[in-house]
Chain A
């Protein structure tokens, strides 16, 4: 099946620093999604990417859909304490297979921000 390799596994940064994380795959995805999960809550959709090369921003967050359709990155600028959480990349299985409707997740990046 499709797999996503997400890195880094964890990051410890100072408030105000920029953050970058990425996901790669050996197979093509037609959509890339980035979620954030706070402790005790469900994942919240941050950014959805639909086209190769697409660069999308949501406030201090910027994500890009790689040109090969096999990778994506998420940047957070000027981090603040509330950015703490687990960030997951995800991609839906492509149409035409028995897994259609299944979302593949990366292993997550645990972000800690020191004030």
Chain B
């Protein structure tokens, strides 16, 4: 069982909907990450938070909005997504940046 918990496991939404993905870890890690993954491809980094502050934004469109309410939680707010945004969204955490990352099982997102 993964120690990084992501909810929901599956999400289907229309292009005008607003939804949020949630990620939680209780390992005391101080770095948290959002990735997007297409089938049979490696994960692509979206955002990095270090000590609850955004440290990397990989030029992600503004329809994706990350939030780190505290050191254990990471959210990804979604609004006006496009069909090409359908993918597996993975959350990861590590003790610090550049330390080995531990991944959750992801949220499978489908945009209608």
Contact = CB atoms under 8 A, between A and B. Distances in A.
A42 B55 contact: no
Main secondary structure of the interface of A (DSSP, over half): loop
A107 B44 CA distance: 11
A95 B98 CA distance: 8
A115 interface: no
Interface string B83-99: 00000001010000111
Nearest to B90: A42
A100 B40 contact: no
Contacts of B106: 41-42
Contact of A100 (B33, B42, B97): B97
Contact of B103 (A31, A42, A92, A107): A42
Interface string A55-97: 0000000000000000000000000000000101010111100
Contacts of B103: 35, 42-44
Interface residues of B, number: 28
Interface string B31-50: 10100000011110100101
Contact of A103 (B45, B50, B104): B45
A101 B50 contact: yes
A88 B56 CA distance: 22
A101 B55 contact: yes
A12 to B, nearest CB: 15
Given A101-B48, A103-B101, 18 more contacts: A31-B98, A31-B100, A40-B108, A41-B2, A42-B4, A42-B106, A45-B101, A45-B102, A92-B98, A92-B99, A95-B98, A100-B97, A101-B98, A102-B56, A102-B58, A105-B43, A107-B41, A107-B42
